Amino acid sequence: MPTSRKTQKQPSKIWYNPIDLTPELAERLVNGLAKNHRHRLELLVRKGGRASMVALLGITQDDDLRILSYFQGALSRKIRRLVGDREKRLHLIGWDYASTEWDAEHTKIVNGDCYISDQTVVALSKALGVKIDNDVPPNDLRRRDW
């Protein structure tokens, strides 16, 4: 029997928004983290929660986008283990689709912004011992395409 539109499940925003880390969860996340992953998180924190793909890749002088996919996947898997997310919906880092820059043929991404939530910036800054740049304004709306 078909259901009415009102009774159909609405899509959850959990798919769109990165998780907000608590200070305790941030401490557990950075414990034992690989050096290159730690440096990328430090960059995100210093920049107020938003950094370009090129800047994140530049930390290890890489140019392959798959490096960032692995980085994001590794952190998401660790968070999911820490909080017991069996549905595999939680993620730490979001991608700002509106900031995506393509090559001339529109076949390869050349740059774009990754972001984390403001609460996560504060929690990670304490866990990593990193100061947030003073010239970075707070950014409540992380995705520019909403």
Question: Distance between CA atoms of 42 and 126, rounded to whole angstroms?
Answer: 11
Cα–Cα distance list, 114 to 8, 57, 73, 143 (Å): 32, 11, 13, 9
- Give the residue extent of every domain in the chain: 16-128
Residues above pLDDT 70, as percent of the chain = 81
pLDDT by residue (tens digit) across 32-57?
999 999 999 999 999 999 999 999 99
CA dihedral angle for residue 67, residue 15, residue 99, residue 105, rounded to 10 degrees: 70
Question: Distance between CA atoms of 73 and 80, rounded to whole angstroms?
Answer: 10
Amino acid identity of 83?
V
Q: 12 Cβ partners below 8 Å, 6+ apart?
A: 89
**Tokens in use for 77?**
């898997």
- pLDDT exceeds cutoff 80 at 132: yes
| Location of structure tokens 């304004």 | 137
Question: What's the pLDDT at 87?
Answer: 82
Question: What's the pLDDT at 88?
Answer: 80
pTM for the structure as a whole: 0.79
Strand pairing category for 94-102 and 109-115: antiparallel
Question: Distance between CA atoms of 40 and 10, rounded to whole angstroms?
Answer: 34
Task: Quickly count helices (H) and strands (E) in the chain.
Answer: 5, 3
